[in-house]
Structure 1
Amino acid sequence: MSDKKIRYKAKIAGKNYTIIGARSQKHLQLVEQTVDEQLRQIEALTSGLDPERRAVLAAVNAVSDQIEMQINMQKMEKEIEELKQKLRESNMEHVD
């Protein structure tokens, strides 16, 4: 990731936005597509909600997914450390 910020023109839920960030244009395009798709899915399921509430639901879903991924990453990091410890112990047994 570069520290250089770029301006990316996005269209999400029919509205134009300028996203400024240090991510690649390809990354920002994927973000645009993902958010737009999620908002369309939420709209299809909750047609009575106004756009602001649909946006809040999309944000809640995104944060929920992020927290779940962080928990999974912490579990994997713990498993890696346990495997490293077992490997060290196994190597010590072979030295003796």
Structure 2
Amino acid sequence: MAENKKRFKLNIANKNYVVIGDSTPAHMRTVSRLVDEQLAEIMAGNVSREDAAVLLAINAVSDQLKKQQELDDLRAQKQAPEK
């Protein structure tokens, strides 16, 4: 394991997970809280934990792609010559 990697213990949907990464503890607490909240919201629709996890992943990837497109658009605007 690389020197900058840390172990984080997370509790999501009443299940414990150990995640290894280079994030800060504050970042991982926020990630854990948001995932737990979003998973609970999806599961309130009477779907299985597995289906809720897949739906949460779909939402996360969709949001990531939208944010990447926004970032790409801003970079293109910055690089475009002014008229």
| TM over 0.5, shorter chain | yes
How many residue pairs match? The answer is 81
**2:59 paired residue number:** 61
The runs of at least 4 aligned residues of structure 1 exceeding 3 Å deviation read none
- Percent of aligned pairs with the same residue? 38
**TM (normalized to structure 2)?**
0.91
> What displacement does 1:41 show?
1.0
Query: Partner of 1:63: helix, strand, or coil?
Result: helix
1:1-96 equivalences under 5 Å are 4-44=4-44, 46-47=45-46, 49-82=47-80, 85-86=81-82
Give 2:53's aligned amino acid. A
Larger % of helix: which?
1
Structure label with greater radius of gyration: 1
Q: Which runs of 5+ in 2 are unaligned?
A: none
**TM (normalized to structure 1)?**
0.79
Q: Distance in 2 between matches of 1:79 and 1:71?
A: 12
How large is the RMSD of aligned CA atoms in angstroms? 1.3
**1:94 paired residue number:** none
